[in-house]
């Protein structure tokens, strides 16, 4: 676990530091100068987010530093399967193990896989290659972004293998050449498919848009993405649905793979006109699934559900002996009026539940207030007072207690509850 400088603080009063002087000092000492927080007393330059520090490890250091400079250091977390990396619809987070021979030497490190860069291809029939976009600088479904400028390809180029669904236990389907367009910030891969039957089936499936692409990388430098005020407000109401995502500033690109899981909304495989007559939409796509299913030498590792011309077809995982094509199911035709009616009922139910929730809160508050009144009045409130008046028995009540107001509130809540119950009872009939 490494100890690193998380924040550098320049005192304006003690050292007469200005932003320009501070940035020059940081540059001379290979420290970041981009993120400045300025107050009346100091200039603070954050080196990385506090979320990457181990809890309780912060230490302020000023010894052997110029006058007015102090540093906040911490023990950084080892890249973990928890925060800030999150698995989701388009992301898998795992540890590299000895079962991944193409990643030998990196055991124990965190590997992040981004699935389903999808899905049109530029195919060169003569060369047997398919060219695809495998990464773009746009948020995926976890709101993560991988900066093209930070992608390191040196390690991948040593072993440029292309697997099917990241599965190293079956034959690779090809080799890859990855290049990055620094202007468009798009990462493109050209896959040279091998000659064996499975690889050629995968090539046809990729061109027919039945397969997407997935990249795998080791994160080197990253931070949580900044969000605007509106998004931050929405996150307060739904934190699990509105995570800001991670900005991957530098990654070690380790692998890419053909995969049946779609995910990224922008990445795609460039369209192949040469395949239009072989595997296209509709009947041809169904024929492709039949062709994949007939080959018992391999299994598709994920379930695929297709609906074409009112017929649903499911292809699911097997062990190489099971038949892959499931029985045909007639698709149910449903009236849009019925669907809209269900949506209206759901909307009304939400309104009823919201009203009941308000009543419950108000009733609980009223009951709690009455309990407080009873406690304030004391035991004598439970029995008639000795004195008699024209109004009957009386009780001694502490000054400032508004019994009449409390009674009005209880009555108001009771009427609302009773009215709501009667209304619902009438609707049930």
- Running DSSP on this structure, what letter comes out for residue 413? H
296 C-beta neighbours (distance < 10 Å), count: 13
Residue-wise pLDDT for 249-271, tens only, equals 989 998 988 887 544 444 444 43
User: So what's the pLDDT on residue 232?
Assistant: 56
- Indicate whether 96 and 70 sit together in one domain: no
- Indicate whether 15 and 110 sit together in one domain: no
Residue 211 counted as domain residue: yes
- Indicate whether 205 and 271 sit together in one domain: yes
- Indicate whether 47 and 123 sit together in one domain: no
> Which pLDDT tens digits describe the chain residue by residue (429 residues)?
456 788 899 998 888 889 999 999 998 888 888 778 888 888 999 887 776 777 778 888 888 888 889 998 887 765 443 334 655 656 777 778 877 777 877 777 888 888 755 545 677 777 888 888 888 888 877 778 899 999 999 889 988 989 888 888 788 899 999 999 888 888 888 999 998 989 998 888 888 777 888 888 888 888 877 766 665 555 555 444 455 678 889 899 989 888 875 444 444 444 332 233 333 444 444 444 444 444 333 333 333 444 444 444 444 444 333 333 333 333 444 455 665 666 667 667 767 666 666 666 666 666 666 666 666 555 544 444 333 333 444 555 555 556 676 667 777 767 776 766 666 555 544
Residue range(s) defining the domain that contains residue 365: 349-379+400-428
Cβ proximity of 254 and 288 under 8 Å:
no
Residue 217 exposure: Cα atoms within 13 Å on the Cβ side: 27
- Running DSSP on this structure, what letter comes out for residue 54? P
Q: Can you point out the beta strands (E) in 260-316?
A: 304-308, 311-315
Residue 331 counted as domain residue: no
The structure tokens listed for 173 are 């389907």
- Indicate whether 97 and 62 sit together in one domain: no
Closest CA to 180 of 153, 207, 142: 153
Residue 359 counted as domain residue: yes
- Indicate whether 149 and 274 sit together in one domain: yes
Is-cis flag, bond preceding 153, omega within 30? no
Cβ proximity of 214 and 261 under 8 Å:
yes
Does an H or E element contain 405, and which?
A: helix 403-428
The structure tokens listed for 286 are 């169904």
Single residue among 280, 296, 312 that ends a domain in this structure = 280
Number of independent structural domains in the chain: 3
């Amino acid at each position: 676990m490494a100890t690193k400088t998380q924040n550098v603080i320049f005192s304006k009063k003690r050292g007469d530091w200005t932003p320009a002087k501070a940035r020059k000092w940081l540059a001379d000492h290979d420290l970041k100068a981009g993120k400045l927080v300025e107050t009346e007393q100091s200039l603070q330059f954050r080196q990385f987010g506090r979320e990457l520090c181990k809890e309780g490890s912060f230490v302020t250091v000023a010894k052997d530093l110029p006058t007015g400079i102090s540093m906040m250091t911490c023990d950084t977390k080892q890249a973990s399967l928890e925060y800030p990396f999150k698995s989701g619809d388009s992301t898998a987070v795992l540890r590299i193990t000895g079962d991944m021979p193409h990643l030998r030497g990196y055991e124990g490190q965190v590997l992040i896989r981004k699935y389903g860069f999808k899905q049109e291809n530029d195919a060169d029939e003569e060369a047997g290659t398919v060219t695809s976009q495998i990464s773009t600088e746009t948020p995926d479904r976890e709101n993560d972004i991988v900066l093209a400028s930070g992608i390191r390809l040196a390690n991948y180029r040593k072993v440029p293998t292309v697997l099917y669904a990241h599965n190293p236990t079956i034959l690779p389907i090809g080799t890859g050449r990855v290049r990055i367009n620094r202007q468009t910030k798009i990462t493109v891969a050209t896959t040279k498919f091998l000659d064996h039957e499975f690889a050629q089936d995968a090539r046809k499936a990729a061109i027919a848009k039945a397969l997407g692409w997935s990249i795998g990388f080791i994160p080197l430098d990253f931070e949580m993405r900044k969000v605007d005020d509106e998004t931050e407000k929405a996150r307060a109401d739904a934190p699990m649905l509105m995570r800001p995502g991670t900005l991957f500033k530098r990654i070690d690109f380790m692998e890419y793979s053909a995969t049946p899981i779609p995910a990224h909304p922008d990445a795609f495989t460039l369209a192949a006109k040469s395949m239009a007559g072989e595997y296209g939409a509709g009947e041809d796509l169904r024929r492709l699934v039949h062709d994949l299913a007939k080959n018992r030498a391999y299994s598709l590792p994920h379930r695929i559900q297709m609906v074409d011309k009112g017929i649903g077809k499911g292809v699911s995982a097997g062990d190489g002996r099971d038949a892959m094509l499931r029985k045909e199911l007639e698709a149910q035709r449903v009236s849009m009026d019925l669907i809209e009616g269900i949506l209206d009922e759901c909307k009304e139910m939400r309104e009823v539940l919201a009203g009941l929730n308000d009543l419950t809160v108000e009733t609980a508050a009223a009951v709690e207030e009455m309990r407080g009144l009873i406690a304030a009045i004391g035991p004598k409130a439970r029995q008639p007072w000795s004195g008699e008046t024209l109004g009957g028995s009386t009780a001694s009540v502490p000054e400032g207690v508004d019994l009449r107001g409390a009674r009005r509130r209880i009555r108001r809540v009771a009427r609302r509850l009773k009215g709501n119950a009667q209304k619902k009872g009438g609707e049930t009939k």
